[in-house]
Amino acid sequence: MINKGLSKVIVFFLYALSLLPLSILYLFSDVLFYLLYYVIKYRKGVVRENLQNSFPDKTLAEIKIIEKKYFSYLTDLIFEIIKMVSASPQYLRNRYTTSNIELIEKYEAKNQSYLFAVGHYGNWEWSTVVTPLLVKAKTLIIYKPLSDEFFNSFFTRIREKSGTKMIKMSLAMREIIKHKNELTVTVFAADQTPAKVEVKEYVNFLNQPTPIFLGLEKIAKSTNYPVVFCDISRVKRGYYHCDFKLVCDKPSETKELEITHKHVEILEDRINTEPTFWLWSHKRWKYKPEF
């Protein structure tokens, strides 16, 4: 826990830094990449292990290429998130293109609330601000609060600047019921790692058994809200594209784990297409199934 005085200094510094053009921030990113990758070697072992286990058919040379590209993107992502501190919602919206938005418009025309599944791929943080500018529905985003209350409050305010409502994971169902008479889109990060006591199910993801949250599927079935995956890809530095893909139209009629397997499959396809932009430095496979 950082003391409040130091926290305020850090926030002031982040705000001042965020006022710089992205082109300048990317120069800082290039420097930070060199430091993280070659000097500090931040979580390099974690990234290497995750990549090798996920892509067993790739050579070490191929793995190293992905690894290096990933760290280069990670530092870009850090400075893009810093830019988000002062950037206007429209500034970020102008850096997103979309496809298959008709899928969303179809539900909204019927005043049908729906659910979004997203992965930690591309700039998921910018999407917290951009989403309310893409849809008519009130945006509810389910999240895990940061351990530091000051920074949790700080980043919540930034994410909510365009009308998003951030909701603690423990309050998800309560808030969805609270807004049941409104047109809403509830957003779930579908690839988070559950706490060990919460692990109920493993799925095959990137060639290994992976613990998965079942909250999205449970809420989809209980509400019968359609589920859509936001397939985000990086177009170029600072620009992204979101392709809306249907996971399930009528969740109450699906088989057990059908929804979960489908959204995992879509994310896996995206990662296999371009692995650079997923969060490889996260310890996603720290829990293993007990046989």
Q: pLDDT class for 288, splitting at 50, 70, 90?
A: confident
Q: What is the mean pLDDT of residues 265-271?
A: 98
Per-residue model confidence (pLDDT) at position 5: 77
In this predicted structure, the answer to whether residue 196 has a pLDDT above a threshold of 90 is: no
The model's pTM is: 0.94
Residue 281 in tokens: 């430095």
For residue 268, being part of any structural domain is answered with yes
Which amino acid, one-letter code, is at 257?
L
Instruction: Please check whether residue 290 lies inside any domain of the structure.
Output: no
- Please report the pLDDT score of residue 198 as a whole number: 81
pLDDT at 2: 65
- What's the mean per-residue pLDDT of the chain? 95
Return the biggest CA–CA distance within the chain: 55
Compute the distance between CA of residue 153 and CA of residue 132 in angstroms, rounded to an integer. 20
Encode pLDDT of 82-134 as tens digits: 999 999 999 999 999 999 999 999 999 999 999 999 999 999 999 999 999 99
Structure confidence at residue 200 (pLDDT): 84
pLDDT at 290: 73
CB atoms within 10 A of CB 272: 11
Residue 1 in this model has a pLDDT that exceeds 70: no
Does residue 284 sit within a domain?
no
Domain range for 91: 4-277
Distance of alpha carbon 214 from alpha carbon 4, whole angstroms: 36
Whether 202 is covered by a domain: the verdict is yes
Say if 288 falls within a structural domain: no
Closest to 214 in 3D by CA, of 247, 260, 254, 168 = 260
* Residue 283 in domain: no
| Residue 249 in this model has a pLDDT that exceeds 80 | yes
**Per-residue pLDDT at 281 exceeds 70:** yes
CA angle 84-95-15, nearest 5°? 15
Question: Shortest CA distance to 92 belongs to which of 28, 156, 161?
Answer: 161
Burial of 278 (0-12, 13-18, 19+ CB in 10 A): buried
Q: What is the pLDDT of residue 253?
A: 96
Inter-CA distances, 187 with 21, 52, 139, 157, 227, Å: 29, 30, 7, 17, 10
- pLDDT above 70 as % of the chain: 99
Encode pLDDT of 167-178 as tens digits: 998 899 999 999
Q: For tokens 């079942």, what's the residue?
A: 214
pLDDT over threshold 70, residue 227: yes
Q: What region, left, alpha or beta, does residue 206 occupy, with left being phi > 0 and alpha being psi -120 to 50 degrees?
A: left
Task: Take residue 233 and report the two structure tokens written for it.
Answer: 């890809």
| 152 or 76, which is more confident | 76
Average pLDDT over residues 4-23: 91
- Within the chain, residue ranges assigned H as helices are 4-18, 22-34, 44-54, 60-84, 89-93, 102-109, 124-134, 149-159, 172-178, 215-223, 258-273
pLDDT band at 195 (very low <50, low <70, confident <90, very high): confident
Residue 291: the pLDDT is 55
- Asked whether residue 284 carries a pLDDT value surpassing 60, the answer given is yes
| Structural domain includes residue 74 | yes
Shortest CA distance to 47 belongs to which of 278, 287, 289? 278
286 within some domain: no
- Which tokens belong to 165? 């409502």
Q: How many domains does the chain have?
A: 1
DSSP state of 34: H
